[in-house]
Amino acid sequence: MVQFGNDITDNAINADSGEALITKGILDIERNTEWRVVDRERFINDKGVYYDSAKVGSFFVGVANDAGTRAVLKLQLRPLPFDEGLIIRHVSDRNKSKSVRTPIVFLDKAWNKVDGYGFIILEDVSGFPRLWPDVPPHRDEDFLNHKKFLIEFLHNVLPIEPMIPRPLTDVVADGRAQFDQYYAIALASKYHHIDNDSVLRYRDMYFARIENIPVVDVHFSHAHLTGIDVRVDVKKEEFILLANLYWRWVPTYQELVFPTWNALMHIHNDNLTFKDFLNTVKRWSLLWSSGLYDHDPTARSFYWDGLLKFAMNTIMLDLGASEWKKGEEKSRQALLDCWQEFFLWILKEKF
pLDDT tens digit string along 51-97?
888 888 899 999 999 999 999 999 999 999 899 999 999 999 999 99
Asked which of 114-123, 219-228, 251-260, 267-276 is least confident by mean pLDDT, the reply is 251-260
251-264 average pLDDT score = 93
Residue 128 lies in a domain: no
pTM of the model: 0.91
Residue 133 lies in a domain: no
Q: What is the CATH number of the domain that holds 103?
A: 3.30.200
Task: Read off the pLDDT of residues 301-321 as tens digits, 9 standing for 90 and up.
Answer: 788 999 999 999 999 999 999
User: Number of folded domains in the chain?
Assistant: 2
Encoded amino acid at 114, one letter = V
Domain boundary among 66, 91, 123: 123
131-164: b (≥16 Cβ within 10 Å) or e: bbeebbbeeeebbebbeebbeebbeebeebebbb
Residue 3 lies in a domain: no
pLDDT of amino acid 1: 40
- Provide the residue range defining the domain that includes 212: 140-349
Greatest Cα pair distance, the chain, in angstroms, is 61
In which band, very low, low, confident or very high, does the pLDDT at 126 lie, cut at 50, 70 and 90? very high
Confidence check: pLDDT of 298 > 70: no
Integer angstrom CA distances of residue 251 from 4, 50, 169, 304, 347: 10, 24, 12, 12, 19
Confidence check: pLDDT of 214 > 90: no
Do 206 and 243 lie in a common domain?
yes
Do 209 and 239 lie in a common domain?
yes
As a whole-number percent, the residues of the chain with pLDDT over 70 amount to 93
- Give me the chain's average pLDDT, please: 91
pLDDT of amino acid 2: 45
119, containing H or E segment: strand 118-123
